[in-house]
Structure 1
Amino acid sequence: MTPHSTRRSFLKSSLAGGLGAGLTLPNLNLLGKKQLAAAAPEDQILIVFQLRGGNDAWNNLFPAKHSTFRAARSQLAIPVSKAIQLKANSDLYLHPALAPLKKRFDAGEVAMLPGVGYPNPNYSHFRSLDIVAAFDPKAATAYRGWLAEYLKHGYTGSYAIPAIDFESRLNRMFVGRPVPTFTKPSAFKFRFDPATPVDDQVEAALLESNAKVLRAGAGAELDFTTKAVASAPADANLIQATGANWSPKSSLWPSANRRDRHVTRYLQYCARYIISGLKTQVYLFSLGGFDTHANQVANGSPEQGNHADLLGAMAQGIDAFFDELKRAGQEKRAVVYVCSEFGRRAGENANLGSDHGAAGISYLVGPQVKGGVHSPYPDWSKVSKPYNRANIQYTVDFRSVYATIIEKYWKVDHSKVLGQKFPLLGLF
């Protein structure tokens, strides 16, 4: 549904033009009266923060003094004097732009997963996004999404809008489940096109009546569409109305550049809905720009540049988000999960950048998380020349991260969602 779809154009495009799994509408009852529940939002809220392009893990958390690391990254490696030591006597250091995460790490609120990946990695952005969405390294396309599978087989709540996707099109992780998808709440609208105002009620009743008829013999795809059609207007009203008068504390939030403002916008939307009582359990948004083949760092100042700006926007935004929730006493209800489709090569290229690689890094942030480094740090002594082609092998499967979120955070048997068992991690 486009931001200003009409009933006629929407039905024509979705019912006559094919039923795609990427339909961006929620599953609600159109004619049922919708109000904010009086109870507090559901616990165990997850915000998925996707770093698009392939985040360079070895410019996040790195063995700053390791001879192979410094040889492989003579232009990219941040000087020890400007990096942040993770802990006393640790060989690992953080990018200085991640200082806000270091503060929360020290408080026991950041779980780090260096070396996250999967067997036989794919280096195409499109295939890799499908793979991590469908939790299947053999996936040729995202025929299902892990979050959609959770909503279908694991979600135990009864709230009408269990998830929201803050993107222009449905994220692959939600493939198979109607989810409200928009980049701005005020633009998420569904309008009828009546000749008179009275016709609004007639068209609404007709829309629901037609949906009921179609549902009587619906297959999976048709059922997906009719549920979405029937719910669209009421969902749009609820999403726009919830927290419409809420205001963030602007001094908490980063705004120095466009990346800061992008992250701030979507984390403020999450804060708005959580604080204002929308009982949605899963939120997702993404930040692009992590495909850093060139000019990843400033020449001669590797602690500055493009990647530093991206990491700073991510870290400052997450820090501000939890500070905002804390003002409302809601900080213990949410976890932010930071992920990317893959990592980068061990060594730099000739353009002050790094190329697509296997293992990456993920973070989980929040008071409910057990802080620490929860995966074996990759062994740089095994990295050999040519460094720009050398790969860092994964040390933890991304599906174990999903399984742990589902089982330890959401308290659901992960095999019912993922279809098989994976080793669980001590993240919660």
Structure 2
Amino acid sequence: MGARAHATVGENAMASTRRDFLRAAAGTSTLMSLASTAPGFLMRSAGAATPRDSRDTVLVVVQLTGGNDGLNTVVPYADDEYGRNRTTLRLPTGALHKIDAHLGFHPRMEAFLRLYKDGYLNIVQGVGCPNPDQDHDRALRMWHTADPRRLQRQTGWLGRVVDRAWSPAEPDAGAVFVGPIARPFALNAEKVIVPSLRSTQDLVIRDASAWGERGPPNAMHRVWGPRPRSPEDVVRGRTTYEETASDGTPNIKRDNPLLQFLRRADSEARAKSQRIEAVVKAAGPSGDYPSFGLARDLHTVAQLIRAEIGIRIFLVELGGGGIGGFDNHANQLGNHCALLHQLAESVAAFIYDLKRSGQLERVLLMTFSEFGRTVKENGRRGTDHGAAAPVFLAGGRVKGGVTGPHPSLTDLDKGALKLHTDFRRVYATVLDRWLGLDSAPVLGGRFEPLDVVEV
């Protein structure tokens, strides 16, 4: 039986106190808004669990919102059907970054060719969902829930991972969404709240004293409430947790469990905040990252990985912050070109940053999009909703190369590429072989992992 199964009465009481405190001190609506605040990472009681797997591996998921055109991302330039179906969208063979005698990267994805040659990139071809749906919301829900049959499911696949691997008593859930848009459904959990943030500055307690005339700074203020000057002030404002003297004055007992928790949480928060701030200062300006939104988000992820505050799952996003994103029904070339350039440059900067800091061996990055695009362009210099598309895996222990054949350009499903790799096999790979977590309860069954990572 594991060590966590032998929790003492005192430990159980502390966990209960923590949950009760968060409900009472913040209220139900504020508790739900923890997805946009920082202390969930910083507050952690002494003796809380360390990451569950001794390998301490990290997963970074990049969502490409809108339906990426895989055919113009990894281009089958040697197949004559490509040119026949893409009369205006066909990319010149001479401009491609050749992978082999059949495939090449988009002309603006030179950074991916470098990753590929260095052995840090694997292209998994023909990935998709059985019985694909070409509606954005339903298709994305399939990927987010990992359950094509139950679109009403209320938890995402990463949320279920968090529920199983982290205790509800621990506010730092082990996962986070980094970005400016609403947290994707994939991180919806039943028992644990998965936070969102925009940068490491959301996690830094700026005032050395933390408690003062204006109360705790930054996100701490949003959780503790208006203008508390100390942990004791928080307790005084919550009569549920204290006895009241005959004259109505709150009387805080020295052994008040809420006060003990607050003092310990405050100490833990300061320690983690200082660790994050030290990492940020040591790294200096993000000069090696391009000035893209995705690059900023991945730079934040890299800083949090180096800070080692217990987060093992990160989700970032590209394409959802503007109109359409990867959903290019018309005039596709320019917009798709810009997005792929941002993807390639941002991911490459992230990977080589981690390599320089000695963290790359423990990090795996994967991309996904809700569907691909049609093989034939649509007459408006764009493409319509498709099915299968490539998934990229990048990291220090990735087996570089191409996994699986490129789907046929003639044997199609309603004009779209057919899948030959169920997307849940990719999920099983990152769960079973990378994070060291049993994928079956998360995915609702067994799916054969791909041989794409060194374990």
TM-score (norm 1): 0.78
Which runs of 5 or more residues in structure 2 are unaligned?
A: 1-21, 204-218, 242-261, 320-324
Q: How does 1:4-403 map to 2 (within 5 A)?
A: 10-11=26-27, 13=29, 32=45, 43-87=56-100, 90-154=101-165, 160-167=172-179, 168-176=181-189, 177-187=192-202, 189-191=219-221, 192-194=224-226, 197-198=229-230, 200-203=231-234, 241=274, 242=276, 243-248=279-284, 250-255=286-291, 261-288=292-319, 289-297=325-333, 305-383=334-412, 390-403=415-428
8 Å contact kept, 1:24–1:169 = no
Q: How far apart are 1:358 and its partner, in Å?
A: 0.9
Q: Deviations over 1:225-256 (max 9, x none)?
A: xxxxx99988976775413424356442222x
SS in 1 for 2:306: helix
How far 1:291 sits from its partner (Å)? 1.1
Checking the alignment, whether the CA contact within 8 Å between 2:76 and 2:406 is kept in structure 1 is: no
Q: Deviations over 1:246-273 (max 9, x none)?
A: 4356442222xxxxx2011111101111
Q: Which residue of 1 aligns with 2:11?
A: none
The alpha carbon displacement at 1:33 in A equals 5.6
Alignment check: 8 A CA contact 1:42 1:281 kept: no
3-state DSSP of counterpart to 2:339: helix
Once the two structures are superposed, what CA deviation does each residue of 1:273-304 show, in whole Å capped at 9, x if it has no partner?
Answer: 1223333111111011111112211xxxxxxx
Match of 2:432 among 395, 407, 412: 407
Q: d(CA) in 1 for partners of 2:305 and 2:44?
A: 25
Using the alignment, how far apart are the partners of 1:32 and 1:349 within structure 2? 57
Q: Match for 2:430: what amino acid?
A: I
C-alpha displacement of 1:165: 0.9
Q: CA deviation at 1:84?
A: 1.9
- How large is the Cα RMSD of the aligned pairs? 3.5
Identity, in percent, stands at 29
State the AA in 1 paired with 2:433: K
* Aligned length in residues: 378
Paired residue secondary structure (2:305): helix
Q: Which has the larger radius of gyration?
A: 2
Match of 2:245 in 1: none
Q: 1:147 to 1:235 in 2, by over 3 A?
A: farther
| Deviations, residues 356-385 of structure 1 (Å, cap 9, x unaligned) | 11112210001111112112310113259x
CA spacing shift, 1:196–1:340, aligned 2, 3 Å: closer
Inter-CA distance 65–32: structure 2 relative to 1 (3 Å threshold) = closer
In structure 2, do the counterparts of structure 1 residues 129 and 22 end up closer, same or farther at CA, with 3 Å as the change threshold?
A: farther
Q: Look up the match of 2:18.
A: none
Relative to 1, partners in 2 of residues 1:321 and 1:33: Cα closer, same or farther, differing over 3 Å? same
Deviations 1:340-365 (A, max 9, x none): 11111111122221111111221000
Contact 1:110–1:371 (8 Å) recurs in 2: yes
CA distance in 1, matches of 2:439, 2:28: 38
In 1, Cα distance between equivalents of 2:142 and 2:440: 18
1:219 matched to which residue of 2? none
**In 2: Cα distance, 1:396 partner to 1:59 partner:** 19
Counterpart amino acid of 2:283?
S
Aligned CA distance change for structure 1 residues 205 and 286 (closer, same or farther; 3 Å)? farther
Tell me: CA distance 1:9–1:340, structure 2 relative to 1, closer, same or farther (3 Å).
farther
SS in 1 for 2:419: coil
AA partner of residue 176 (structure 2): I
1:421–1:362: structure 2 CA closer, same or farther, 3 Å change rule? Answer: same
Change (3 A) 1:31 1:337: closer
SS of 1:70's partner is helix
Indicate the SS of the match to 1:113.
strand
Cα distance in 1 for residues equivalent to 2:343 and 2:80: 29
